[in-house]
Structures are given as structure tokens and as C-alpha cells.
């Protein structure tokens, strides 16, 4: 559903801020692709854009693709911004630029919902999810678009049921410019890991869309130009196991109908390994990657952070189970835990070798507001507000030692030969377990062949000729070519190249050690 129509017409400019360069946004892969410039289309802002009254013209700008221009600001009567903590500086910068045109600016999304005080300059703060606060904001703008004298904070008390969510306005985004498509089926997670703000922000009882909404969204994503992969951004795909089971047959049917043109990925807790019926459905629906917050291989640390559910199946056994269902595991890892010891880094590297997981996002612990960790550290007087630091946590081990361990782990885990050996393992042990997709006209279409050839040319030239790990690359690439594994060659190298390059920046101290770090390293986007 949309907001009720109002007589007054308002032109709304939705601006999504640039990401600070990060491990998880894959920007080193973009030049190897064909016109990709950004990571994922922002669900929240496109949802709000779709919810606005039908007679309000909306313009959507993702500043990862191009900056909002003078003409955009002159066109608009009000500006909407949304984003995560990591985009805080860029969001404040958009607000400053919009104010130069005397426009009222509203901010919503996860960062402002957790930390309203990060955004003192905005005119309207939309705290919480789509609901009565959104209707209130629309009504206020319909009455008057001038900037209010004081900041207005609107908090959602009554959330819109997710089954009433409109399809996100994908038609406003240039979907072919994104590395991945995104979709959301559920929101919230029943667990309460100490460091995580999801249960506090979105609740412990997952809210759901209907399977029919999801297949309609997939149709729309395809129509609007998405290709390759779509990521379920749900906080935990099995937060409600029955709902996951209900959805999967619809996804399978959709894949059969459309010829398996998309592959899926998602985030889920590792105890999914205990649910072969869900894994079988996921395999059939062509889920090929699953992100699990393993966090640490240390059982004592898992217990301390209330993530015991990671130990329901021995970790290594769980990873192998997922691999047997054709899914490559991506793992989140946290360093700087209270239980860490000087030998934690060495244990992590042993775990990476043993698990053969190619991609691990290794972060320093950061205390987020609205988490049990934040409350505990506040009680213990161990929160440090210092924007020059990579974490706001006063670690048990010396800060420099923790950061050094992080750098050393990044440097070692992503050495080209080690990383490509882990991909070699996946090609041998995981990918062959994926569902055999029927050949479709789409796969052998000229557009698809041209896309593959463009990526191969970019990879051979930029990595094989100009790159600085040529020997390891060609060893890996020639084996793929000899076996006709062109698709594996492209998909592995796209990701591996980003990881190798980013890890080098990281071990050289040129990037933040925490995805959530407030250490601001990226220049803001200049106004035209």
C-alpha cells in the first residue's frame, strides 16, 4: 500500500550517501565488471519512495553512482536521506548541501533510529520503521515544505505491517549498475547476541512479508534490469524457521518459471546446519552463498557473547554441511573480545585454513548503542569516544596489539596463494553440489555471452597482465580454463581481487579496522 493521496503535490529528492570504502562493498571488483558502480540498491529509501503519495514525483540518486546535482536540488521541494552509521559523515554532508538550497531535509533508516543525536542538523528525524511517523512526515510536508525552526523528531509507534509494504521503487534505480540485487523477506531476530543491535531496533519476533510479495519483487527486480545475484538482507533468514520453509517452494517455482536466471544469498545463524529440510529447499532454490556470523572459533568467547547457538553443531561440521548443500559460507569474525588472548590471531588463521572459507569479514569489536554490550561497557566505564580510534571499546588487551593482530590476520588470510587455494577447495568440494540448472535461451543469449567476455577481458588484462599477483592468478586461471570452468573463474576472481587489494590496504593501515568505526576516512561528495 501507499500513503493516502493528498491534494498538494511535493517533489521529493531521495539521496543515498556514498559508502566509506569497506571490505564488504567490493569496490575493487567493479572495474572488472561491466558498468557496475555500487554495491546494493538501498531497500529502505526505495521503499519510502514507493510509499509516498502516488501524485508526488520522486527522484532517487545513489551518490555511489553519481552525486546529486544543483539541478536535482533546485528541482526538489524536500530531501530524504537514509543510511547506516558508516555513512554518517556523508549523510551530514548531503544535509549541508541541501540546506544551501534552503530545502527541508529528513533522515530515516538504521543509523538515525539507533543514534538520533548523530544528526543535529537535519530538519526531520524519522526514528523507527515505516509507519505512523512516515504518515506524519508526509502530512507535515504536504502542509508546508519550509524548514521548521527547530528539529522535529518523529518516532514510529505503530509500524506498517510488512504484508502491506509496497514493492520498492526499483524502477527509480539503475539496477544494472549494482554489484548485487537486494530483497527483504523478514525483519528482526529472536537471538540476543551481546554486540548486536538488531533485536533492539527491529524486535525479536521476526516480521514478515508474504511469499507472493517476494516473488512479485523478484519479477520487478528482473524487469528493472537486475542480473546475477540477489541478496536476502534479512537479519536472520531462519529467524522464523517456519516462514523460511513456507517461502522456499515459492522461490523454487519462481526459479523454474524464469529459468534460474538469479542466484540467491542470505544471512543466517550457523544452527541452520541442523535443518536439512531448509537446506535442501535452499539448494533447490539456488542459494549459493550464506553469510554466518561465526564471530570466533573460541567456544568460551561464544558463550560470553551469548552466541551459544553457534555451537549447536560443531562449527567445522556445520560449515561442511552447508558446503554439502552447495553453499559457500561467508563468515563474520570479531577481534578485540574480552576473551581474546595474545594467541587469538594465530588461532583464527588456523581456523581459516581448516574451514577453507574464502571470504571472512574480520572486524574489530565496536559497541553499538541499543546493545547489551554497550550497556555493559558503559557500566564498566569502558566506552571510549575518540574518532581517531578504530573502536570505541577499551579492550582488555592493549589497543595497539589488537589492531596489529587485525592487520596481521588480514595480511596473512588474503595472501593471493592462500585465498585462491580456498577458492580451489570450494570449486572442488562445494560448487559441484549446487543444483544443475537447465540451459535456457537467456544463458546462451548474445547479451549474456558479451557480458561474460567483457568480464574475462577485464580480468585477463587488469589482473593477469597489469596485476601484481600474476603467477598465482595464472596458476588458478589456467586450471579453470583447462577444465572449462569459466563461470567459476569469473565469480572467484571478482571477489578474490577485491579481497586481496582491500586486505593490502588494511594491513598497510589505510583502512578502518571496524566496519562501524567512526574514524572517518572518506572525503565527502562535493556539490556541483
Binding site for ligand SF4 (CB under 6 A): 189, 191-193, 196, 198-199, 235-236, 269, 293
Identify the helix (H) or strand (E) that includes residue 152. strand 152-155
Query: Smallest distance from the beta carbon of 307 to ligand SF4, in angstroms?
Result: 6
Q: Is 218 exposed, middle or buried (0-12, 13-18, 19+ CB in 10 A)?
A: buried
**What is the per-residue burial (b if ≥16 Cβ within 10 Å, else e) of 159-186?**
bbebeebbebbbebbbbebbbbbbbbbb
Query: Smallest distance from the beta carbon of 239 to ligand SF4, in angstroms?
Result: 7
What would the grid cell of residue 440 be?
535456457
What would the grid cell of residue 162 be?
510488512
Pairing of strands 287-295, 104-108: unpaired
Q: How far apart, in whole angstroms, are the C-alpha atoms of residue 500 and residue 496?
A: 6
Residue (of 515, 491, 497, 83) closest to 333 by Cα position: 515
Query: Smallest distance from the beta carbon of 44 to ligand SF4, in angstroms?
Result: 17
Nearest residue (CB) to ligand SF4, 23 versus 195: 195
Nearest residue (CB) to ligand SF4, 198 versus 413: 198
DSSP string, 460-485: IIIIIIS-S-HHHHHHHHHHHHHTT-
Nearest residue (CB) to ligand SF4, 192 versus 434: 192
Query: Smallest distance from the beta carbon of 119 to ligand SF4, in angstroms?
Result: 24
Query: Smallest distance from the beta carbon of 293 to ligand SF4, in angstroms?
Result: 5
Nearest residue (CB) to ligand SF4, 195 versus 414: 195
Q: How far apart, in whole angstroms, are the C-alpha atoms of residue 96 and residue 107?
A: 13
Query: Smallest distance from the beta carbon of 110 to ligand SF4, in angstroms?
Result: 13
Nearest residue (CB) to ligand SF4, 82 versus 269: 269
What would the grid cell of residue 430 be?
562445494
Nearest residue (CB) to ligand SF4, 63 versus 235: 235
Residue 34's alpha-carbon distances to 138, 174, 338, in angstroms, are 38, 13, 44
Contact 179, 230 (CB under 8 A): no
Spatial neighbors of 154 by CB under 8 A, at least 6 apart, are 124, 125, 126, 127, 133, 136, 137
Contact 288, 262 (CB under 8 A): no
Query: Smallest distance from the beta carbon of 295 to ligand SF4, in angstroms?
Result: 8
Nearest residue (CB) to ligand SF4, 200 versus 225: 200
Query: Smallest distance from the beta carbon of 199 to ligand SF4, in angstroms?
Result: 5
- Residue length of the chain: 528
Instruction: Name the packing angle between helices 315-324 and 344-355 (round to 10°).
Output: 30
Query: Smallest distance from the beta carbon of 167 to ligand SF4, in angstroms?
Result: 25
What would the grid cell of residue 449 be?
555471452
Nearest residue (CB) to ligand SF4, 372 versus 467: 372
Identify the helix (H) or strand (E) that includes residue 378. helix 372-379
Nearest residue (CB) to ligand SF4, 304 versus 527: 304
Amino acid at each position: 500500500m501507499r500513503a493516502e493521496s493528498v491534494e498538494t503535490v511535493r517533489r521529493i529528492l531521495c539521496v543515498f550517501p556514498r559508502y566509506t570504502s569497506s571490505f564488504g562493498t567490493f569496490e575493487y571488483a567493479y572495474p572488472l565488471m561491466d558498468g557496475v558502480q555500487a554495491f546494493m540498491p538501498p531497500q529502505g529509501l526505495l521503499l519510502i519512495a514507493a510509499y509516498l503519495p502516488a501524485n508526488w514525483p520522486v527522484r532517487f540518486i545513489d551518490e555511489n553512482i553519481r552525486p546529486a546535482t544543483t539541478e536535482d536540488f533546485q528541482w526538489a521541494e524536500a530531501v530524504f536521506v537514509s543510511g547506516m552509521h558508516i555513512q554518517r559523515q556523508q549523510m551530514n554532508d548531503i544535509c549541508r548541501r541541501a540546506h544551501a538550497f534552503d530545502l527541508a531535509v529528513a533522515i530515516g533508516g538504521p543509523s538515525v533510529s539507533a543514534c538520533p543525536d548523530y544528526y543535529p542538523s537535519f530538519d526531520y528525524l524519522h526514528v523507527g520503521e515505516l509507519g505512523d511517523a512516515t504518515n506524519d512526515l508526509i502530512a507535515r510536508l504536504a502542509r508546508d515544505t519550509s524548514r521548521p525552526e527547530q528539529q522535529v523528531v518523529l518516532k514510529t509507534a505503530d509500524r506498517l505491517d510488512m504484508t502491506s509494504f509496497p514493492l520498492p521503487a526499483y524502477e527509480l534505480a539503475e539496477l544494472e549498475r549494482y554489484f548485487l540485487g537486494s530483497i527483504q523477506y523478514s525483519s528482526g531476530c529472536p537471538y540476543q547476541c551481546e554486540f548486536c543491535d538488531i533485536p533492539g531496533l527491529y524486535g525479536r519476533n521476526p516480521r514478515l512479508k508474504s511469499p507472493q510479495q517476494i516473488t512479485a519483487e523478484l519479477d520487478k527486480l528482473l524487469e528493472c534490469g537486475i542480473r546475477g545475484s540477489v541478496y536476502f538482507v534479512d537479519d536472520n533468514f531462519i529467524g522464523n524457521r517456519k516462514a523460511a520453509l513456507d517461502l522456499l517452494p515459492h522461490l523454487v517455482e519462481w526459479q523454474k518459471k524464469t529459468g534460474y536466471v538469479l542466484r540467491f544469498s542470505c544471512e543466517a545463524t550457523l544452527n541452520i546446519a541442523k535443518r536439512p529440510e531448509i537446506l535442501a529447499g535452499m539448494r533447490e532454490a539456488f542459494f549459493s552463498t550464506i553469510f554466518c556470523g561465526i564471530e570466533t572459533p573460541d567456544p568460551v568467547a561464544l558463550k560470553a557473547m551469548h552466541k551459544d547457538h553457534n555451537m549447536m553443531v560443531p562449527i567445522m561440521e556445520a560449515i561442511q554441511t552447508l558446503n554439502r548443500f552447495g553453499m559457500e559460507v561467508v563468515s563474520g569474525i570479531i577481534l578485540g573480545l574480552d576473551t581474546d588472548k595474545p594467541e587469538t590471531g594465530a588461532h583464527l588463521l588456523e581456523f581459516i585454513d581448516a574451514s577453507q572459507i574464502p571470504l571472512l569479514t574480520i572486524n574489530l569489536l565496536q559497541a553499538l548503542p541499543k546493545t547489551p554490550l554497550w550497556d555493559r561497557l558503559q557500566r564498566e566505564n569502558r566506552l571510549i569516544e575518540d574518532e581517531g580510534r578504530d573502536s570505541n571499546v577499551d579492550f582488555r588487551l592493549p589497543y595497539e596489539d589488537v589492531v596489529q593482530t587485525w592487520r596481521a590476520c588480514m595480511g596473512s588470510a588474503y595472501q593471493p596463494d592462500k585465498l585462491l587455494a580456498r577458492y580451489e577447495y570450494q570449486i572442488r568440494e562445494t560448487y559441484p553440489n549446487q543444483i544443475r540448472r537447465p540451459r535456457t535461451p537467456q544463458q546462451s543469449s548474445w547479451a549474456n555471452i558479451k557480458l561474460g567476455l567483457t568480464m574475462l577481458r577485464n580480468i585477463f588484462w587488469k589482473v593477469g597482465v597489469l596485476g601484481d599477483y600474476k603467477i598465482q592468478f595464472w596458476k588458478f586461471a589456467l586450471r579453470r580454463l583447462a577444465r572449462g570452468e569459466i563461470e567459476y573463474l569469473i565469480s572467484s576472481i571478482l571477489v578474490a581481487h577485491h579481497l586481496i587489494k582491500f586486505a593490502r590496504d588494511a594491513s598497510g593501515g589505510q583502512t578502518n579496522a571496524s566496519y562501524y568505526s567512526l574514524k572517518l576516512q572518506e572525503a565527502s561528495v562535493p556539490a556541483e
